[in-house]
Structure 1
Amino acid sequence: MKRIKSYFLMLLISVAIFSCSDDDSPLNPEQGDDDNSEEPSEQESRYVVAATPNALEGVADYLLSIESLNSGSVSLIGNGVEQDGTYRYYISNNNKFFSLLYGQGNPGAVTTYQLNANGGLDMISDFQAETVQSFTNVDDEILMTKISRNSTNPIASWYRLDTESSQIVDEGQINTQDIIDNDELAFFTWMTQVGDQVYAPFMSVKACCNDTFGTDYPDQAWIAVYSYPEMELQSIIEDDRTSYIGRYFTSGLGVVENGDIYAFSSAVATTNGEASSTKPSAITKINAGEEEFDDSYFFNLEEASNGYYMTEQTYVGDGVFVLNMDPTASKGAYTTGNRLAIVNVYDQSFVWVEGLPNEDAITSITSQNNYVEDGVVHVGVTTDAGSYIYQIDVDNASATQGVEIEGGTITAISKLSIE
């Protein structure tokens, strides 16, 4: 199984929330202050790259503050800020970089960084956290949801974090049995801001019977629509042309400039441990201002790619997405595709990216932790030969090898400005 390249968020609070949880390792959801001083820099911004040391297993990431992603090399030895604990995941908002420890059912440390005048990373806060399984930026807030997969207590708890004050400003609960019209539970795959609302795709899960993430309804897609900031349910959008939207801890929605919403399905639903969806991996559409799927739009990715399915998506702009793809023959619920493709959802064009290492040679690739800048997608790619950040030029579907991160596996790429 390939390691999931996602980042699990925990609830930032000024005091620890201690509660019982049946959540398990983020690598398989079904199983159970350092100095970073830099030389003075005239740059107004720096890239923040997270990487896991290769020498040891079960070790923490290091955060590097670097000037360029395009060339050169940076070693983890003697550089960067070491994180406390494994299973770190990341998100940026309001010119802050949040480093988040997945607590495997327990509260875990969450550390917030800003750039100092010299371009190094300063820790500005350190909190305890409750493990959550879904989060997203909503303007200058982070919306987080701790999702139950326990049929006797089907409650998802949501929290709004103000990133300016690093304080919780509101919280509430959602009964996940009440938003689905079958005998299973709704489990949110992700949440996405759409205007002044939040769209929350979910999968239907048994949450019992030794088939916790399995379903008897593998060929159905749902999206719950919530008001914001109240998080009151407005409607449920359904479609039977695909399996569920997104995947466990993976965003399945992309909002383009005119407000249209594109929904990505990997078609990886399982029943009793076996792949059970009869639908193809595909993209569907919800037109701006509407709360129903557009029946006239259907982009069959397995057909366009000649036998691949998508695992993650990165929006670039103007209807263009970079997709992580994997062969349908090895379809799995938690894999990350090592081959990249570029699709334009407007004209349903599909093209493979050239210039990357062979997909079989790639041991790790970033997905939701990619960084998009000026129409270029920066992706971390690791093979036995090393770990590099590649620049994906979507105009010519080409990849160019950039900076090498020596001694580490790249897990996240972001950028902060010097204030």
Structure 2
Amino acid sequence: MKNTYLLFALGFAALLFGGCEEDNGSSPSPDPDGGASSKYIVTATPIASEGVADYILTADDLTTGTISTTANGIEQDGTYRYYVTSNNKFFSMLYGQGNAGAVTTYELNSSGELEVLSDFQAETVRAFAPVAEDLLTIKMTASADDPYLYWYRISTNSLTIVNEGQINCQEVANKENGELAYFSWITAKGDDLVYLPYFTIKGTTEGGWSTDYPDEANVAVYSYPEMQYVKTISDDRTSFIGRYFTSGLTFDEQGDGYAFSSAVPMNANWEVIETLPSAVTRIANATDDFDDYYFNLEEASGGYVIDSHIYAGDGKFIGIMQNKAEMTTAWGGGKAYAIIDVYNKTFDWVTGMPDPATITQITTGGNNLVSEDGGTVHVGVTTETGSFVYNIDVATSKATQGLAVEGGLITAINILNSASEEE
């Protein structure tokens, strides 16, 4: 998501005061009838001026070539957008700064062009993820005086809100001092359960995002689609899972959930509290609870913490890492890439990426794309010399520079099949 830090500031104020088949992970398959069976979707912010909206661009290849924001693409209305692909549809959601924002849905037609399917208003949310054939979104503006957050089910078939409800996040946290549960993200397990890792915050004018409980990880489990509370899973070997607006939990092919802690709880001055190391723990499929698995990422990396992760499959993750000695805020900023093998507990830096000191912007977490076979992870990286897609070979831990975006800063990478392929 672009401008994450600014979005956090807006969210903080609200709290206090109120892919397809790919042989090599590079090129979509051509349509034998002359159309385009799939396209890569690349969003980019024009660099010509401040406060401008993203453009949605399309490309046939992520390993080579150039696309441009100049006289090209579909301009989005509104400055702050975030994106998700589900049910072969591309959703562009406007951050409404506390107000309702537009949700614009696109599909790829048989000619390889993006077409608008719908454009409707929905609440500005701070967590969202595909679940079954829905998008589940959560609006979080709760405070100690009003401890409710709100969830919405958006059908990716009817493109309408089909259900909604509220959660008392003070009750979820269940703390003696009244702290609130703040969900970092949403992770689905199958079609009938959602796991919501959370950190606890005081939610008062004086306490803000601070906590008296920095050394614990909690995950609230809900049934789906009813969104009925099932239980909370807890662990005391790490701090909370994920970060603000950042996923920290992924289930693998065996149904085991790997939980990543960035170790960034805060005090009332927004300063990171010294706490347990950045590490990976596991929710075992067999018990649906944390087991004894533990992988210390700070130790393995030589002093780095994980900001966000991308799952490539077979126990291998791309970790976006930040030097703990250089960390000044809890809101991310990592620009170093590594391959984390959670099965074998190995950590290898990715070679071929730009020097982190030269990187000005990256695509984080779910804004990156994994090839169908899991062999390649496509990430967007901007330096002073330009904005490029880098293609990371998971097996070799080596990245190569690919598609260039002229006149823009890459904010997300996705892929769509043409609508005719789904019929």
- When normalised by structure 1's length, the TM-score is 0.91
* Deviation of 1:30 (Å): 2.8
Match of 1:25 among 1, 4, 7: 7
- Distance in 1 separating the partners of 2:137 and 2:10: 20
Does structure 2 retain, via aligned residues, the 8 Å contact 1:243–1:277?
Answer: no
- Distance in 2 separating the partners of 1:6 and 1:165: 30
Count of aligned positions: 393
Does structure 1 retain, via aligned residues, the 8 Å contact 2:215–2:275?
Answer: yes
Does structure 2 retain, via aligned residues, the 8 Å contact 1:190–1:251?
Answer: yes
Match of 1:73 among 55, 66, 88: 66
* Deviation of 1:6 (Å): 7.9
SS where residue 325 of structure 2 aligns?
Answer: helix
Change (3 A) 1:134 1:247: same
- Distance in 2 separating the partners of 1:5 and 1:367: 9
Match in the other structure for 1:411: 411
- Distance in 1 separating the partners of 2:333 and 2:317: 16
Match in the other structure for 1:290: 287
Match in the other structure for 1:384: 384
- Distance in 2 separating the partners of 1:60 and 1:5: 11
Match of 1:363 among 352, 360, 364: 360
Match of 1:239 among 225, 235, 240: 235
* Deviation of 1:109 (Å): 1.5
- Distance in 2 separating the partners of 1:26 and 1:218: 20
RMSD of the alignment, in Å? 1.7
- Structure 1 residue identity aligned to 2:404: E
Change (3 A) 1:367 1:263: same
* Deviation of 1:107 (Å): 1.2
Match in the other structure for 2:250: 254
1:104 paired to 2:97: yes
Match in the other structure for 2:349: 352
Does structure 1 retain, via aligned residues, the 8 Å contact 2:10–2:97?
Answer: no
Match in the other structure for 1:313: 309
SS where residue 308 of structure 2 aligns?
Answer: strand
- Distance in 2 separating the partners of 1:122 and 1:108: 20
Change (3 A) 1:50 1:26: farther
* Deviation of 1:48 (Å): 0.4
Write out per-residue CA displacement over residues 296-332 of structure 1, whole angstroms, 9 at most, x where no aligned residue. Answer: 2111100000011000000000000001001001233
Matching of residues 209-288 of structure 1 within 5 Å: 209-273=205-269, 274-288=271-285
Matching of residues 50-89 of structure 1 within 5 Å: 50-89=43-82
1:187 paired to 2:182: yes
- Runs of at least 5 residues in structure 2 that lack an aligned partner in the other structure: 15-32
Match in the other structure for 1:342: 339
Change (3 A) 1:356 1:280: same
- Distance in 2 separating the partners of 1:101 and 1:7: 13
Does structure 1 retain, via aligned residues, the 8 Å contact 2:57–2:73?
Answer: yes
* Deviation of 1:57 (Å): 1.0
Match of 1:206 among 180, 202, 206: 202
Does structure 2 retain, via aligned residues, the 8 Å contact 1:219–1:277?
Answer: no
- When normalised by structure 2's length, the TM-score is 0.90
Does structure 2 retain, via aligned residues, the 8 Å contact 1:7–1:89?
Answer: no
SS where residue 170 of structure 1 aligns?
Answer: strand
SS where residue 172 of structure 2 aligns?
Answer: coil
1:133 paired to 2:130: no
Does structure 1 retain, via aligned residues, the 8 Å contact 2:70–2:407?
Answer: yes
Bigger helix fraction: 2
- Distance in 2 separating the partners of 1:211 and 1:149: 14
Does structure 1 retain, via aligned residues, the 8 Å contact 2:179–2:201?
Answer: yes
- Distance in 1 separating the partners of 2:362 and 2:4: 13
1:397 paired to 2:393: no
Change (3 A) 1:150 1:27: closer
1:116 paired to 2:109: yes
Match of 1:168 among 154, 161, 171: 161
Match in the other structure for 1:11: none
* Deviation of 1:104 (Å): 0.3
Change (3 A) 1:254 1:327: same
- Structure 1 residue identity aligned to 2:295: F
- Distance in 2 separating the partners of 1:278 and 1:25: 25
SS where residue 360 of structure 1 aligns?
Answer: helix
Q: Which moved more, 1:190-199 or 1:95-104?
A: 190-199
Change (3 A) 1:123 1:315: same
- Distance in 2 separating the partners of 1:27 and 1:65: 32
1:143 paired to 2:139: no
* Deviation of 1:292 (Å): 1.9
* Deviation of 1:26 (Å): 4.1
- Distance in 2 separating the partners of 1:230 and 1:221: 25
What percent of counterpart residues are identical?
A: 51
SS where residue 304 of structure 1 aligns?
Answer: helix
- Distance in 2 separating the partners of 1:73 and 1:43: 18
SS where residue 208 of structure 1 aligns?
Answer: coil
- Structure 2 residue identity aligned to 1:264: F
1:324 paired to 2:320: yes
- Distance in 2 separating the partners of 1:148 and 1:31: 9
Change (3 A) 1:251 1:172: same
Match in the other structure for 1:300: 296
Does structure 1 retain, via aligned residues, the 8 Å contact 2:181–2:200?
Answer: yes
Change (3 A) 1:389 1:347: same
